[in-house]
């Protein structure tokens, strides 16, 4: 993505520099940044799984009999 942005206009160059600086502990937090979005996705999925597990353990299962 950075290499493609470097081919664009000055604002694209600025965004490319911003994204290129997003490494290791210095994440940019930009919603366009693939690395930051990946970390957000991992966090969200793990939190969602935790919520589902909490709901499953708190809700008694009722099995229908015919």
Examine residue 6 and state whether it is found in any structural domain, yes or no.
yes
The mean pLDDT value for 25-48 works out to: 91
* Residue 64 is assigned to a structural domain of this protein: no
Q: How confident is the model at residue 66 (pLDDT cuts 50, 70, 90)?
A: low
Total domains in the fold of the chain: 1
CA 36 vs. chain centroid, Å, equals 6
The whole domain housing 25 covers 2-58
**Average pLDDT of the segment spanning 10-29:** 90
Closest C-alpha among 25, 30, 36 to residue 15: 30
Does 13 fall in a domain? yes
Q: Decide if 66 is inside a domain.
A: no
Q: How confident is the model at residue 63 (pLDDT cuts 50, 70, 90)?
A: low
Q: Is residue 63 part of a domain?
A: no
- Give Cβ neighbours of residue 53 (< 8 Å, ≥ 6 apart): none
């Amino acid at each position: 993505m950075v290499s493609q942005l470097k081919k664009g206009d000055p604002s694209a160059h600025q965004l490319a520099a911003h994204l290129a600086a997003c490494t290791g502990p210095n994440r940019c937090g930009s919603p366009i940044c693939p690395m930051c979005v990946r970390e957000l996705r991992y966090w969200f999925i793990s939190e969602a799984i935790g919520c589902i597990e909490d709901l499953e353990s708190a809700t008694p299962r009722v099995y229908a009999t015919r």
